[in-house]
Structure 1
Amino acid sequence: MIELHECGPPTRSSPYLNGCLLSDVDSAYIASRMGSEAAAGCISKLLELLRIHRFVMSRICTSNGTEAHMYSYGTPGALLRKNILREWWNHMVSSEENTFPVEASVVSPDMTDSGISLTLGPREENCKISGVCLTSSLSKDLLDHYPHSLQQVNKRLPFAQAAVGTCFQYSRPEFEDNRPSPHRLLSHGLCRTHLVHHYYSPPGSASQNYDHWLSLRLRWWRQFSSKPSHFVTSNIDAPDGKTTSSIDYMFPWGQSSIETVCNHGDHDIKQLEEQSGLSHQARVSRKMVYPHVIECQTSLEDAMAAFLADAFQEKQIFSTNKTIKQNGARMVLQFHPHLAPYNVSMVNTGSKSRELRLVTSHWSQDLREAGMRVLDTADVSLTQEAQFRRNDELGIPYTVVLNDQTLDTGVITIRHRDTMLKEQVHIAKFKERLVRYTSPV
């Protein structure tokens, strides 16, 4: 039985100190893994950016004397997680035929689970205490739902199941299966949001389907990346002989796994049949067979870490304006429009603040109704350049600028995050233009 206790006030080594994302120890570890000072500077600036804009915060708790992190997410981080989850769900569930979503409980009565155990019940003496286990994997829950899904498809292969849920873990060891230590960005949380997909394949085509899913998942990661070549695949030597590969991202501190794709064979289905005493075979043409389970597993934390590292850019500013040059390089999170916390930010500049406020509010609502995520901060006291810089750091692809001239001519300015180019568009057409920009194929 493991008891969890939250630590007291943050100490010098706490990642919560001053809102920092990582502890001093973790930062030193990352720096030691860097291949160059440039890479060390890159991650330091990324962590500072995440701290300033409250993408993620961390506190420390102890699990049987072992430290673990508990993460919470500010508005940009929460929106980024939501967008990643939506894209994964659309890709793995909504667009796939015969894919059945299930939902697992965070607790399990199975005390053999390798997760963290918890005691439930009142503290009074002589009362009955029940022990449960906080689940560490969704795979078993998916398999428990296999018989019902099998009936849904009239026992015909192939079909699939998917689940999203919170899992609990111990702190990871420095080295696991002789593989390099995993990345430290969001990797040591006490709980993680797992995204798991099981594809039940005919045994004769299991190898082809395994290659298909590995390729499909790699393309999914790359399509949202500004550096697609940083997503690669590698083979894993599984001790039980299962065919397993990982999709890795080349972080500034080294290559690390962010998703695993594994062909479990028919062992899990046979074991499930043995436990239940009922037949779990499926039909392929006229034959009854045991399907092979092809599992794709990642987590929101791994996806968020990869896409944050992938999106971070430090861009030099070339300008004749001395004030702009003195502000130094731009820190940009170059998110894909589908992942960016906000698609558009509205900015007002001009003396006719009341009239501009009314126009901005109207068009902000109109853009939201068109499905766009809008950050309307037209009332803030920041300068226009300061708002551009903030929007770049939040990863907002487009900034819409309205000024006094807009009220006279109906012309607004759309500023592009990645190029800094400013495009003048009539207000009657800018909504259509933005919808096209933020909905790439």
Structure 2
Amino acid sequence: MVTFCVRRQLLLRKERTVWLELLHCRGCTNAGAAFDETDHMGTVMKLCSDRHYIAHDHHTPKRIRRGISCVYGPLGMELRKNILDQWWSSMVTTRPQVFGINTLHGFRGGSVALERTLKLIDTEALHQALRQGEMTGKSKGDALQKLLQGSVSMRTSLLQGALEQYIASLELVNRKLPFGLAETGLCYQLPEDQPGELDCSPSEVMQASLVWFCSPRTSSQWLDYWARQRLQWWRKFALGPSSFSCSDVTVGEEGENVKRGIKVLYQFPWGSEALETLWNLGNTELLQIHMGSQAKLQCRDGKRSVVPHVISVSGNIDRGVQAYLHNSLQEVKKVDNRQRQHMRKVLKLHPSLTPVKVAVNMGKGATSDLRQVCESLLQELLDGGISSWPGHLESTSPSSEQLKYDEMGVLFTVVISDSTLESGLVQLRSRDTTIKETMHISEVKNFLAKYIAAAENV
């Protein structure tokens, strides 16, 4: 009993040191890491399919590269949810001047700054218009035009919804600048005009949008501010932050009304892709959507009344998922007992983003008793909001299970064994260091909660 108490005190004393070492080691690059960009894309796609990040038979490379119409498995869906939660916390929850909104997927009438529009049409009404035998070609054309004008347009971005809610939101801020409206949701992108491209179907993309209303005299500074904030945010959760960068967009690239833009880019193996795009839109779109009624649009900028300028911050979360998956995968050379080299694939997703924080495994011993302890610990972790994997239900060897957990991105593995029944001690293995520590079972939940919270604040 005395030995157990002494060991426990030593473990608790070491806890903070081990905890900080684990956090530090996440950012370290293993000297034995082998990284071949030519094979990296295929390796990531196979891992994503095998480990249920992307649904089987739906990982079309071209669509995944574009970050559109991604069909996720359970782990991929959880990863995207975690990214969205972190985005919302950063952009809305912790900012008193930003308010969340929810807008419809479809709207009637034209959209701002778009020449092409995606329409939702009743096929029966379309067939009726085409079946009018007595109608001339011109009459049929008029009927089709009327049908199109009365149909619903599907949103291709979240900008229009925020602009429409601008006047209603003025009361919240007492007509005082600056303030913002934020939203996340699915948008529908029109097919790109590419030679030899036969796919004309629209695509789905999960977007995260902030529309920031500010004084015309400070709009340029606000654009730079949000660009810095967004780049810092993307890098915060990255294993290799240098792969994220910013690039200015030339005036007129996205339309004549655009004054200036900035893109947050990720360097994929095939080239740079935009994760987020920021525009200084001026007040043109705001005036256009509210029919030029300047009196209703004016806000206070000090002692002056002005029509605000609009800063649009729009992110492609699906492409962000792909960026973090590519950025987090490490292939490490491992030598076994027979001096044979193997490649160990580890998905080192940030603790805040990884879908599964801990796997609960069962070692050798009385099966029924150990299973009860595993189930009890698993439920305790789940009740504490820590996503956990029921590894004690697996039937494969411990070494195979551990390889799978590393590829899934599981942060820690807890092994319940005979010693747990005798002394309450469990073995805790770290994904990032592979170090195995001994800890009392009553300390596991608190340790994991502190570890994840500390990682968010680094």
> Which TM-score band (shorter chain)?
0.7 to 0.9
Counterpart-to-counterpart distance in 1, 2:87 and 2:238: 14
Equivalent residues of 1:138, 1:194 under 8 A apart: yes
In structure 2, list runs of 5 or more residues that go unmatched.
Answer: 1-34, 61-66, 130-142, 196-200
Equivalent residue letter for 2:353: L
AA of the residue aligned to 1:50 = C
Distance 2:236 2:314 in 1: 18
2:52 maps to 54
Contact 1:59 1:69 survives alignment (8 Å): no
1:77 corresponding residue in structure 2: 76
Count residues in correspondence. 386
Among 128, 139, 151, the alignment partner of 2:171 is: 151
Q: 2:218 maps to what in 1?
A: 205
In the alignment, the residues of structure 2 paired with residue 395 and residue 125 of structure 1 have an alpha-carbon distance, to the nearest angstrom, of: 51
Preserved CA contact (<8 Å) 2:59 2:71: no
Aligned to 1:411: 425
CA RMSD in angstroms, aligned pairs only: 2.7
1:292 aligns with 2:309: yes
Match of 1:137, SS state, is: coil
The aligned residue for residue 41 of structure 1 is 39
- Report which of the two has the higher share of strand: 1
Partner of 1:262: 279
Deviation at 1:216, TM superposition (A): 0.5
Partners in 2 of 1:351 and 1:287 — Cα distance?
77
Equivalent position SS for 1:406: helix
SS at match of 1:317: strand
Structure 2 CA distance for aligned equivalents of residues 205 and 361 of structure 1: 57
Question: Residue 115 of structure 1 contacts residue 168 of structure 1 at CA under 8 Å; is this kept in 2?
Answer: no
Displacement after TM superposition at 1:327 (Å)? 7.8
Question: Gaps spanning 5+ residues in structure 1: where?
Answer: 1-36, 62-67, 176-187
Q: 1:60–1:69: 8 Å Cα contact kept in structure 2?
A: no
CA distance in 2, matches of 1:140, 1:233: 25
Question: Which position in structure 2 is the counterpart of 1:86?
Answer: 85
Q: How far apart, in 1, do the equivalents of 2:260 and 2:348 lie?
A: 35
Instruction: Report SS of the residue matched to 1:386.
Output: helix
Q: Contact 1:344–1:397 at 8 Å: present in 2 too?
A: yes
| Conserved? CA contact 2:287–2:293, under 8 Å | no
Structure 1 or 2, whichever has the larger Rg, is: 2
Quick check: 1:118 aligned with 2:120? yes
- Relative to structure 1, the CA distance from residue 60 to residue 213 in structure 2 (aligned partners, 3 Å threshold; closer, same or farther) is closer
Q: Which residue of 2 aligns with 1:8?
A: none
Structure-2 change in CA distance of 1:173 and 1:312 (3 Å): farther
**Could you tell me which residue of structure 2 aligns to residue 31 of structure 1?**
none
* Deviation sequence 1:216-252 (CA, Å, 0-9, x none): 1111000000001111111111313511010111112
Q: Is residue 371 of structure 2 the alignment partner of residue 357 of structure 1? A: yes
Aligned to 1:24: none
1:432 maps to amino acid: N
Cα pair distance change 1:383/1:115, threshold 3 Å: farther
Q: Mark the CA change 1:52 to 1:369 in structure 2 (over 3 Å): closer, same or farther.
A: same
Comparing both chains, which one has the higher relative contact order based on Cα–Cα distances under 8 Å and sequence gaps of 6 or more? Answer: 2
Q: Secondary structure at the match of 2:375?
A: helix
One of 137, 154, 157 as aligned partner of 1:137: 157
Normalization by structure 1: what TM-score? 0.81
Judged with a 3 Å threshold, the aligned counterparts in structure 2 of structure 1 residues 253 and 270 are, in CA distance, closer, same or farther, namely same
CA distance 1:125–1:194, change in 2 (3 Å): closer
Q: CA–CA distance in 2 between the matches of 1:115 and 1:353?
A: 61
Post-superposition offset of 1:274? 3.1
Does 1:334 pair with 2:334?
no
Partner of 1:229 in structure 2? 242
Match of 1:271 in 2: 288
1:103 maps to which residue? 102
Map Cα deviations across residues 56-87 of structure 1 (whole Å, 9 max, x no partner): 136599xxxxxx97432111001001100000
Q: Is the 8 A contact 1:69 1:189 kept in 2?
A: no
Secondary structure of 2:342's partner?
A: coil
Once the two structures are overlaid, the 10-residue window that deviates more, 38-47 or 107-116, is: 107-116
TM-score (norm: length of structure 2): 0.78
Corresponding residue number in structure 1 for 2:10? none
Residues 1:253 and 2:270 aligned together: yes
Amino acid corresponding to residue 372 of structure 1 in structure 2: I
In the alignment, the residues of structure 2 paired with residue 433 and residue 204 of structure 1 have an alpha-carbon distance, to the nearest angstrom, of: 49
- Counterparts in 2 of 1:189 and 1:231: CA distance versus 1, 3 Å: farther
Q: Please give the per-residue CA displacement for 1:320-373, whole angstroms capped at 9, x wherever unaligned.
A: x23xx6582111111000000111111111131111111111111111222211
**Alpha-carbon separation, structure 2, partners of 1:265 and 1:375:** 49
- Report which stretch shifted further, 270-279 or 350-359: 270-279
Q: Which moved more, 1:339-348 or 1:275-284?
A: 275-284
Distance 1:387 1:409 in 2: 25
- SS across alignment from 1:171: coil
- Which residue of 328, 338, 342 corresponds with 1:311? 328
CA distance in 2 between counterparts of 1:78 and 1:390 reads 18
2:188 counterpart (148, 158, 168): 168
Q: Does the CA contact (< 8 Å) of 2:167 and 2:296 recur in 1?
A: no
1:266-297 deviation line (CA, Å, top 9, x unaligned):
22233344345752010122210111111111
CA distance 1:95–1:59, change in 2 (3 Å): same
Matched-pair contact (CA < 8 Å) for 2:156–2:189: yes
Greater Cα shift, 359-368 or 107-116: 107-116
1:381 aligns with 2:383: no
1:348 is aligned to 362
Residue pair 1:109, 1:133 contacting (<8 A) in 2 also: yes
